[in-house]
């Protein structure tokens, strides 16, 4: 699930021939992240990644079509660290996920890579889809989980029945997702200021007051 290659949907299901080395996969992805820290997205080259991983350059191209797809997979595994511990109330839950997301985006690998691949994805549909499935969906899961938790606690109204109620709920989740992820990314990468507990609290307060007012 971590490294979804572009040529074979099936892993190595009884396929003849020499199987791909999983250690090589990990070595390449590790080397990619390390190189991102040192030289950033702009200075990253396939040749250097191969050298760091102790692997031939051709081996990289057998698995990833280009730099962007490689970096998406290399960074995507970091998003597995994201979790949503139950802190008892919605405010604390959101503050926690905002801080986690902030810490993740403050790392030099993600900082320099995420915006770059998103920029590249504006002219590459396959890349956009890869980003969506490998990164965006993992984040969105947290929003959905936090929402259903808050509904069970009674902090948020339950989903309205009917098809149009379901559609409205989907829209609202999308909106909240864009607001949370967008604000954190913008503060860290554009405003270049830290996402600390004070900011997380102020932001969460704003968001929750907004959600309360969105109902009617």
Partner DNA sequence: CTCTTTCGCTACAGGTCGTAGCGTAACTCG
Partner DNA sequence: CGAGTTACGCTACGACCTGTAGCGAAAGAG
Mark the segment that binds its own copies (CB under 8 A) among 3-11, 55-63, 111-119, 150-158. 111-119
Q: How many CB atoms within 10 Å of residue 216?
A: 4
Contacts of 138 (CB under 8 A, 6+ apart): 76, 79, 80, 82
**Is residue 164 near its own copies by the rule CB under 8 A?**
no
Residues comprising the chain, all counted: 216
10 near DNA (CB under 7 A): no
d(CA 42, CA 112) in angstroms, rounded, equals 9
Among 186, 194, 196, 197, binds its own copies (CB under 8 A): 186
DSSP 8-state symbol, 158: P
Interface pick for DNA out of 1, 9, 58, 216 (rule CB under 7 A): 58
Instruction: State how far the Cα of 47 lies from the Cα of 53, in Å rounded to an integer.
Output: 10
Q: At closest approach, how far in Å is the CB of 69 from DNA?
A: 10
Q: How far is CA 174 from the centre of its chain?
A: 15
Of 38 and 137, CB closest to DNA: 38
Sign of CA dihedral 136, 148, 100, 182: positive
Tell me the two tokens of residue 79: 């998003």
Among 6, 11, 38, 47, binds DNA (CB under 7 A): 47
Stretch of residues binding DNA (CB under 7 A), selected from 20-28, 124-132, 166-174, 187-195: 20-28
Q: How far is the CB of 60 from its own copies (least distance, A)?
A: 18
Residues at the site binding its own copies, with contacts judged by CB under 8 A = 39-43, 108, 111-116, 118-124, 128, 131, 136, 171-172, 174-175, 177-179, 181-187, 189-193, 199, 202-203, 205-214
């Amino acid at each position: 699930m971590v490294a979804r290659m572009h040529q074979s949907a099936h892993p190595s299901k009884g396929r003849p021939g020499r199987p791909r080395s999983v250690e090589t996969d990990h070595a390449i992805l590790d080397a990619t992240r390390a190189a991102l820290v040192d030289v950033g997205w702009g200075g990253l080259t396939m040749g250097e990644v191969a050298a760091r991983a102790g692997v031939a350059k051709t081996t990289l191209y057998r698995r990833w079509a280009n730099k962007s797809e490689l970096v998406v997979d290399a960074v995507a595994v970091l998003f597995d660290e994201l979790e949503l511990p139950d802190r008892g109330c919605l405010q604390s839950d959101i503050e926690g996920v905002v801080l986690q997301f902030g810490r993740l985006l403050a790392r030099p690998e993600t900082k320099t890579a995420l915006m770059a691949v998103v920029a590249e994805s504006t002219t590459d549909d396959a890349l956009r889809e890869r980003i969506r499935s490998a990164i965006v969906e993992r984040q969105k899961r947290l929003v959905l989980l936090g929402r259903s938790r808050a509904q069970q606690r009674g902090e948020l109204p339950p989903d309205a029945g009917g098809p149009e109620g379901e559609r409205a709920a989907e829209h609202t989740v999308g909106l909240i997702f864009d607001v949370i992820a967008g604000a954190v990314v913008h503060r860290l990468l554009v405003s270049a200021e830290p996402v600390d507990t004070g900011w997380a609290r102020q932001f969460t307060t704003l968001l929750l007051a907004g959600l309360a007012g969105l109902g009617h």
